Copies of this chain bind each other. A is one copy, B any other.
């Protein structure tokens, strides 16, 4: 028998059984009263999760589609934006803007580190002519396992006056994101992350400043038109036929999250992040992320000497059923990544570290195979 699978990648995350089954409900009319009721409930729930009084829209797409929606609704050809990138997904946000003819000025930080809010302030202060129309920034960089300090960055950008467009694809629900209080004008989140539902939906929160910007923005848009999303939401609909199963699943997952409480959910992710990092350290592995900004959603781990990342992932998958992610782009073969956001339990973390210890030992590393799991158990309060 194949080993039971433990999905420990930074999205898609495991889905609770009751949420999985919510997708199996009979199909309904997406322009009828039953769908309108579901859309109203999930929209209200999303507003609480995004901590916003403003609009949140549900689009049928992957996370990248949400970033494209941010670009085409907020900007015009030739606009200048400041791209604050700390990894693959920050770079992707910038690439989308470039693809649409936006001038992108890059403020890149070394991978593994967080963006320095002071440097952002400095760059914006030098923009006396206010040429920078928007700042693109990633809340949680999934490729490096680093979280940016949006509580600091949001107000710095607001002081300058540029729009803050946030890739929160893997941050929402996994960590505090105070959209309104931090002055984040547009925030994108993905269904397949800490929301604990499958991929297929992306959520876009947008405030009044963003809505005004949208009215002036002239990049071509149709599918991603958030103005249309707003008009149809009033009718209890989406402009285009939505991924109905994922809307049912979102409703089921939000009910679970509301019962847990948002703060408790953040604390769960803090606890899990700490346990994974403790376990990694006890196995003699080194985290790739600056410890001060290590993500509680995903942990990036440097390749240990003498062990190939591909071989390690293959062994974990085939012998232990544990699915970890590799490094992306220049980080390929240099790091591997453990996702611990969403529907991940304390037991999943302990089990993952146990399998990792066994696999590392089997691949020739001189290590106490039980040390990782033991350290995680201790960190979890053992």
Count this chain's copies in the assembly: 2
Contact of A64 among B15, B20, B222, B317 (CB under 8 A): B222
Nearest CB of B to A329, in Å: 13
Nearest CB of B to A297, in Å: 15
Please state if B220 and A99 are interface contacts (CB–CB under 8 Å). yes
Mark the stretch among A6-14, A178-186, A276-284, A373-381 that contacts chain B: A6-14
Which B residues touch A7, using CB under 8 A? Answer: 26-29
Please state if A29 and B15 are interface contacts (CB–CB under 8 Å). no
Nearest CB of B to A244, in Å: 5
Which B residues touch A26, using CB under 8 A? Answer: 5, 7, 14-15, 20
Contact of A223 among B29, B64, B245 (CB under 8 A): B64
- Assess whether A246 is interfacial by the CB under 8 Å rule: yes
- Assess whether A53 is interfacial by the CB under 8 Å rule: no
Nearest CB of B to A75, in Å: 11
A221-251 Cβ-contact flags toward B at 8 Å (1 or 0): 1110000000000000001111111100000
Please state if A95 and B222 are interface contacts (CB–CB under 8 Å). yes
Which B residues touch A30, using CB under 8 A? Answer: 12, 199
- Once bound together, how far apart are the Cα atoms of A306 and B345, in whole Å? 61
Which B residues touch A5, using CB under 8 A? Answer: 26, 28
Contact of A21 among B24, B31, B221, B246 (CB under 8 A): B24
Which B residues touch A28, using CB under 8 A? Answer: 5, 7, 12, 323
- Once bound together, how far apart are the Cα atoms of A13 and B29, in whole Å? 8
Please state if B27 and A24 are interface contacts (CB–CB under 8 Å). no
Which of A99, A222, A244 counts the most B-chain CB atoms under 10 A from its CB? A222
Residue on B nearest A72 in the bound complex, by CB: B220
- Assess whether A154 is interfacial by the CB under 8 Å rule: no
- Assess whether A101 is interfacial by the CB under 8 Å rule: yes
Residue on B nearest A35 in the bound complex, by CB: B12
Contact of A323 among B14, B29, B192, B219 (CB under 8 A): B29
Please state if B245 and A23 are interface contacts (CB–CB under 8 Å). yes
Residue on B nearest A99 in the bound complex, by CB: B222
Residue on B nearest A328 in the bound complex, by CB: B31
- Once bound together, how far apart are the Cα atoms of A124 and B223, in whole Å? 30
- Once bound together, how far apart are the Cα atoms of A21 and B245, in whole Å? 11
- Assess whether A126 is interfacial by the CB under 8 Å rule: no
- Once bound together, how far apart are the Cα atoms of A21 and B323, in whole Å? 24
- Once bound together, how far apart are the Cα atoms of A15 and B99, in whole Å? 38
Nearest CB of B to A88, in Å: 13
Please state if B243 and A64 are interface contacts (CB–CB under 8 Å). no
Which B residues touch A242, using CB under 8 A? Answer: 62, 199
- Assess whether A200 is interfacial by the CB under 8 Å rule: yes
Q: What 10 A-B pairs come out closest when comparing CB atoms?
A: A200-B243, A62-B240, A23-B23, A64-B240, A20-B24, A199-B241, A100-B220, A99-B222, A62-B241, A68-B223
Given contacts A12-B27, A61-B61, 15 further A-B contacts (CB under 8 A): A7-B27, A11-B241, A12-B29, A12-B244, A20-B26, A21-B24, A23-B198, A24-B24, A62-B241, A63-B241, A65-B223, A68-B222, A99-B222, A100-B220, A200-B244
Task: Show 12 A/B contacts (Cβ-Cβ < 8 Å), sorted by A.
Answer: A7-B27, A7-B28, A12-B28, A13-B27, A14-B26, A20-B25, A24-B24, A27-B192, A29-B323, A190-B241, A198-B245, A245-B245
